[in-house]
Amino acid sequence: MSTEVIPEHVAVIGGGAWGTALACAARRAGNDVVLWARNAQVVDDINNGIGNPLYLPDVALDAGIRATTNMAEALEDAFAILLVVPSQRMRDVIAPVADFCAGRPVALCSKGVERSTGMLMSEVAEACLPDAEVAVLSGPTFAREVALGLPTAVTLAAEKTWVQDAVLKAVGLPTFRPYVTDDVIGAEVGGAVKNVLAIACGIVTGRELGENARAALVTRGLAEVMRLAEKLGGRAETIMGLSGMGDLTLTCNSPQSRNMSFGIELGRGRSVQEILDERRAVTEGVWSAESVTALARKHGVEMPICEAVNAIVTGNADIDATIQTLLNRPFRAEGA
């Protein structure tokens, strides 16, 4: 690949399925795109016109998407940066490149809470990239559908209008529609917690407990998301939008979701490690279960479904006994 830097391009940091899909959206929006990936095979495949068969097979990529393992090359002269690395690795990836991000919009496109600190991704970014302009891009998205150009809507959260405008320029399309808000916290909490709840819905499906049970989980799970978001300073209206209810609806109703499919296999009796050993892509909810529940406890927020998932995923709790504990909780008002 030539080391010539494309002026005024979109930088996508992360060569997994979601990063590749966002690169497709940015290219369709009329931008030159430079994608950074740690995996040299991913870079070679993209630059040789093969696509990204390791993470997003059978999807053709536009020739205007270039890939590199050189972070500086990807970031230099980018007018917008899409940060699409797993939440638990974000700090390690972005800390060394802080100088390249100064004054530029950095859209956080990964969902989770950092296990070691309990920080939301925006807090991690603000600590590591103090001079960047942080935004959050979150919502009901399956990477393959975005890559193929199928209609999708997401939440774009940023406090500054010009930052919203820059990210809209980077990825906004009739078929990829960001709806803007200044509620960064609400957009983040919805994305982080839904991964944990999707595992719960998968367990219910794998245990064949029925559609009624799954609908109850989604609804009561939404109440947990809202309680945590409001406690941290987010707004209920954001949780009722694309990054909350929308994302929860998608992820908890389709085995295409890595988190739900993980829960299905758990519900069928397989072990956490056995399932993870078969997967190339990261299942964020596995790592977020512990950090989300720790964050909730820290702020005195009751989240029994997330606590149950955490007990199963990290504490090897018996699934049937854990479900029974949830069912035996005291009756209460629905709004409580």
Which residues belong to the active site?
Answer: 194
* CA pair distance 68, 259, nearest whole angstrom: 29
State CA 325 to chain mean position distance. 29
Nearest to 114 by CA among 96, 101, 104, 128: 128
Q: Which residues of 145-173 are buried (b: 16+ CB within 10 A; e: fewer)?
A: bbbeeeebebbbbbeeeebbbbbbbbbbb
Other CB atoms within 10 Å distance of the CB of residue 208? 9
> Structure tokens of 308?
């149950």
Contacts of 309 (CB under 8 A, 6+ apart): 196, 197, 199, 200, 203, 285, 289
DSSP state of 64: T
Contacts of 107 (CB under 8 A, 6+ apart): 80, 81, 82, 83, 135, 136, 137, 156, 167, 170
